[in-house]
Amino acid sequence: MSTQELRDEVIRTIRRIIRAIDLQSKRLVKNYGLTGPQLLIIKKLQSWGGMTVSELAREINVSQSTVTSILDRLERYGYVLRSRSETDRRRVIVNISERGKAVLAENPSLLHDSFLSRFEKLSDWEQTALLSSLQRVASMMDAPELEEPPVLISGTFEDSGGVEGGDMSGEIPGEDRGGERP
């Protein structure tokens, strides 16, 4: 296979992964009313407990302003609670609410069930090798001039207001919010 053919195959494979993530993101919105970034934040809060916005941003690898925007929606719809720290009133602590816990009790996944099933059937060394390969690809694609990396969302260039892959706000472009979904 020529160098150009290899490059083309890499692009096709990455596009297949992006398409699969896009389809899973649409399933999340349809079934749970949450975007991938919103679900990621709720899951992180459940596993860590109370966190500051900066801790949360660092853990999910996005900017504080992006996390704040997502939290605004999640709080508005009752999935998270914000409160002032008792020891330092300048710090705001974010916790998952009962409604957030109820959504997670339904066990929504950022990854498609068929992928998870196949991944779990791999031996430990195969899982580690796959993870290592994905981390290497991500590292090779990292663009230091970008403010923040994508978080399992996708969309068209037009949907995003000019930023391919969509913005990180947790909004679904073109969707009517209807008062039910964060």
Beta bridge partners of 81: 95
pLDDT at residue 173, as a whole number: 38
Domain membership flag for residue 153: no
Task: Residue 19: give its domain's CATH number.
Answer: 1.10.10.10
pLDDT at residue 124, as a whole number: 96
User: In one letter, which amino acid is 172?
Assistant: I
* Distance from C-alpha of 121 to C-alpha of 109, rounded to nearest angstrom: 17
Q: Where are the beta strands (DSSP E) in 3-157?
A: 51-52, 80-84, 92-96
* Distance from C-alpha of 109 to C-alpha of 156, rounded to nearest angstrom: 23
pLDDT at residue 171, as a whole number: 45
Domain that holds residue 69: 3-141
Pairing status of strand 51-52 against strand 92-96: antiparallel
Number of domains, the chain: 1
Q: What is the pLDDT of residues 50-75, one digit of tens each?
A: 889 999 999 888 889 999 999 999 99
Domain membership flag for residue 164: no
Domain membership flag for residue 110: yes
User: In one letter, which amino acid is 71?
Assistant: L
User: Which phi and psi angles does 64 have, rounded to 5°?
Assistant: -60, -35
pLDDT at residue 175, as a whole number: 40
pLDDT at residue 151, as a whole number: 54
Domain membership flag for residue 88: yes
pLDDT at residue 145, as a whole number: 47
Domain membership flag for residue 160: no
Q: What is the pLDDT of residues 78-92, one digit of tens each?
A: 999 998 878 888 888
Low-confidence ranges of the chain (pLDDT < 50): 145-147, 154-179
Q: Give residue 156's Cα distance to chain centre.
A: 17
* Distance from C-alpha of 72 to C-alpha of 112, rounded to nearest angstrom: 27
Domain membership flag for residue 157: no
pLDDT at residue 112, as a whole number: 86
Domain membership flag for residue 17: yes
Sorted by sequence, the CB contacts under 8 Å of residue 131 that are 6+ apart come out as none
Domain membership flag for residue 51: yes
Sorted by sequence, the CB contacts under 8 Å of residue 9 that are 6+ apart come out as 1
Query: What's this model's pTM, rounded to 2 decimal places?
Result: 0.68
